[in-house]
Structure 1
């Protein structure tokens, strides 16, 4: 079995302005990098990651920082497993946040259903929220290089939320038809 390879970026930024350090941190986290310690992070070796890290290396230099990019490999399978656990732990944390939002979404729609708050405006808001969940999941999944344990749970929650949204939409359409039908009956009888 061939050893896994990673790209290792080490960098140092001037302490001020903090926004520059934060910008670098956000870009690396957005790529799915794991921090081994401050200013030292890893990504699986790929052409895309190499290109993006080289661009970031140049940006760091332009911000008066220093960066060095290496290819790295674990010395034994235990080291590889340790690194993979770190990647999976970060993704599981992100999946957990998404799952938590999905649970709140389910509760919110259950409450709207309980009080019969069936409006098109509310449906549109719920559709937008669900679209955000799908985008968020896709972003996490893109950085889920080693299939984190909570990936399937998060995927199941998305399916569940879609079903909840469909049921809510059905209720909204039925309530709106009922309202239109009620107005029409009153007009016909006058």
Structure 2
């Protein structure tokens, strides 16, 4: 824990600052069947875990993570594996920043992929607009694609424990996609009104 010295006149007071607590899971599972090992890895990554090395991962400590890691610990036992679940803190602020940086980097990779898909969505709308393809079927298809983007961003945000550097950009890009679909929908409605 970090300590801060506060001086008030002749008195010195030591205040403990709250350190970030993490849950550290170390595990070893049999190599075969590989599908069980891969499923375990996916489950942990799906929770937002950062791997420090093979079989060693970290999550911010909270009740949900504690509960889910205890369940995973039991699953590892059922796989004839070994595991240890610990609560830990960083040695100092520099180490804590390294770990937080790893979490942010993982989320930023996901945000970059998301932003690329937003570009694909924008290109699809531009293509349909250029072709003057203003149909309800196309609007419905694009609406489904937008809902997938919205759901995906929500999943990334749920695992973004420390607010990745690309989070705001991803949010802005989704808003642009939503506005683009609204404008496209308006063109579809206008095209169908003209046909009546």
TM-score (norm 1): 0.93
Distance 1:62 1:125 in 2: 43
Distance 1:55 1:143 in 2: 19
Distance 1:105 1:2 in 2: 43
Distance 1:54 1:125 in 2: 41
Q: Which residue is 2:147 aligned to?
A: 131
Shift of residue 158 of structure 1? 0.7
Q: Which residue is 1:160 aligned to?
A: 176
Large movers: runs of 4+ above 3 Å: none
Q: Which residue is 1:35 aligned to?
A: 51
TM-score (norm 2): 0.90
Shift of residue 133 of structure 1? 0.7
Distance 2:22 2:186 in 1: 49
Give structure 2 stretches of 5+ with no counterpart: 1-16
Structure with the greater relative contact order (CA < 8 A, sep ≥ 6): 1 or 2?
1
Distance 1:63 1:128 in 2: 39
Query: Once the two structures are superposed, what CA deviation does each residue of 1:22-48 show, in whole Å capped at 9, x if it has no partner?
Result: 110111011000000011000000011
Distance 1:176 1:68 in 2: 63
More helix by share: 1
Return the match for 1:151 from 150, 162, 167.
Answer: 167
> Could you say what secondary structure the match of 1:168 adopts?
helix
Shift of residue 65 of structure 1? 1.5
Q: Which residue is 1:2 aligned to?
A: 18
